[in-house]
Amino acid sequence: MHLPADYFRCKSLIYQLNVAVSAIPYSAPFFSADCKRLRNPLLWKIIYLVILIIKNMTSPTLKKIAQTLGISVSTASRALKQHPDISAATRQKVLDLAKTLDYEPNANAVQLRTRNSKLFGILVPTIANHFYDSFIASLEEICRKNGYSIIILQSANDPSIEAENLKLFRQNRISGLFACITASTHELSAYQKMDEVDIPVIFFDKVPPEEHLHTVCLADSAAGEMAADTIIRKKKKKVLALFGDPQMSITKKRLNAFTGRMKEKAPGIEVQTIHAISSEEARIKTTAAITDPGNRPDTLFCMSDEILIGVMKALQITGLRTPEDMALIAISNGFIPKLFHPEITYVETSGQKLAEQAFANMQLYLADQLPEGTSIVSSVLVEGGTI
């Protein structure tokens, strides 16, 4: 008698199934209470083998979970969300099966249904910066606690990279963007595309000068005035004040506030201002100023941590000490000043507080409750031992 080839294939599969079934322990963890009621080890092993096949050969879906348990998809969905309308027994069966199958909700499907990806973007010039590091760490923690994930991209202070990153954010359908612009960003067409696809943008720290945007800033003017008041109170006579990129709004605010306060309250104090766009440039210019014996300042003011790093290196190279040889005060996030002894006196500009305000504003923005304009995060003077 001639038997078809399919017959032998079936025989082979049956044999392999018997071997696999005999190797499955009765104690395998799946619906333990229901398995005891089956009182049939062979039947239980076959059921467990089927589950393994489903798990390894297909992607588990909510529909498959519902079909396996003989319930509706909506019931399975509510059971996974611990909805009180679903009985405890049904909830447990759904959770057990979902765990066994390694079921995970389809993020894309959820996004399409709710129009909320629960994903925020963060765009910064660089993450190699203690202030941005503090901001990102704080914002990530807040987002995680509120059910959001984040994507972090760096612009490297390059507008072309900035534009490419904004395109990536749009392609990932983020729910919102926290953006710190580059020093060379002079027009906002790339950001306008975010608005065209209904992605809200909260600008922070280094922000565009336009007034119709949503921005979160530190109290830059108040911080500059606070530093000036401290220098005046300490009766200093000659100040070298170092500021960042002159094109940035944050530099303009701190510079105008600092010099304006000095002229208003102590016009007799000599103030020299210079700009440095990197720590290295700050080191070079500070070294030149403090090694000129006929024109040496008695006080150094740094408008940012980046500049402070260069200034401290210049002081170490020249062997000058604070406050014995020269007083020092900075505007800082607080990390760098605490690395030195004595600790550097600084006006605090907190990345953590800025992140908290930015997230709160984003929630209002998503709810269409945030008016255009700027939210200000206050600053405080932290006394050290350098002035």
**What is residue 125's predicted lDDT score, i.e. its pLDDT?**
93
Whole-number Å distance between alpha carbons of 216 and 71: 49
**Whole-angstrom Cα distance, residue 153 to residue 184?**
17
Check pLDDT > 90 for residue 215: yes
Within 58-181, residue ranges assigned H as helices are 62-69, 73-80, 88-100, 107-114, 130-145, 159-171
**Confidence (pLDDT) at 103:** 79
Confidence of residue 284 (pLDDT cuts 50, 70, 90): very high
pLDDT of residue 293: 84
CA angle 89, 90, 92 (to 5 degrees): 65
What is 113-218+353-376's CATH superfamily?
Answer: Response regulator (3.40.50.2300)
Tell me how far apart the alpha carbons of residues 55 and 249 are, in angstroms, rounded to a whole number.
Answer: 56
Among 45-59, 72-86, 368-382, the range scoring the smallest mean pLDDT is: 45-59
Q: Is 139 a residue whose pLDDT tops 90?
A: yes
pLDDT score of 151 more than 90: yes
Q: What is the pTM of this model?
A: 0.67
Dig out the tokens for 87 from the structure.
């009985």
Helices (H) and strands (E) in the chain, counts: 15, 12
Q: Is 148 helix (H, G, I), strand (E, B) or coil?
A: coil
Residue 107 CB-half CA count within 13 A: 9
Average pLDDT over residues 176-194: 93
Instruction: Kindly tell me if the per-residue pLDDT of 364 is higher than 60.
Output: yes
Q: If 0-12 CB within 10 Å is exposed, 13-18 middle and 19+ buried, where does residue 111 land?
A: middle
Report the CATH fold assignment for 220-348. Answer: Rossmann fold (3.40.50)
Whether the domain at 21-108 and the domain at 220-348 fall into the same CATH topology: no
First to last CA, the chain: 105
- Six-digit token string for 189: 């067409």
Given a cut of 90, whether residue 360 has pLDDT beyond it is: yes
User: Encoding tokens for residue 366?
Assistant: 């998503």
- pLDDT at position 11: 43
Domain ranges in the chain?
Answer: 21-108, 113-218+353-376, 220-348
Per CATH, the architecture of 21-108 is what? Orthogonal Bundle (1.10)
Question: Which of 50-54, 195-199, 313-317 is least confident?
Answer: 50-54
Closest CA to 254 of 304, 300, 204: 304
Mean pLDDT of 255-265: 97
Q: Please name the residues in contact with 222: beta carbons below 8 A apart, sequence gap of 6 or more.
A: 257, 378, 379
User: What confidence category does residue 42 fall into, taking pLDDT thresholds of 50, 70 and 90?
Assistant: low
Using the predicted structure, report yes or no on whether residue 30 has a pLDDT greater than 50.
no
What is the pLDDT at residue 80? 86
